Amino acid sequence: MVNAGSVGMPYARRPGAYWVLIGPDVELRRTTNDFRAAAESVRRTQYPEREDFAKHLVRPLVPEEAIPTFERMAGRD
């Protein structure tokens, strides 16, 4: 099993689009992009939670911030 990460919301210390290249081997990759431009693109959509999504594109949560949220969602307070 390979978790490629997240292009849109990586819960990581280094911002970027996290993805995987699968060939004869598995290579985890990270690509930088213009997060502010991406956030502005999201804000122009009709996505219901676009402002929160855009905010986290510019300043992604680090694992210590994201983990408690997911634990609560899983019912493990």
pLDDT value for 50: 94
Q: Report yes or no: 18 and 10 within 8 Å, Cβ to Cβ.
A: yes
Distances (CA, A) of 55 to 22, 37, 58: 31, 12, 5
pLDDT band for position 42 (cuts 50, 70, 90): very high
Residue 51's domain spans which residues?
17-73
Give a yes or no: residue 23 inside a domain.
yes
pLDDT value, residue 37: 93
**Total number of domains in the chain:** 1
pLDDT at res. 15: 76
Determine, yes or no, domain membership for 8: no
For position 45, what pLDDT does the model report? 97
Share of the chain above pLDDT 70, in %: 97
- Given this model, what pLDDT does residue 60 score? 81
Is there a domain that residue 2 lies in?
Answer: no
4 belongs to a structural domain:
no
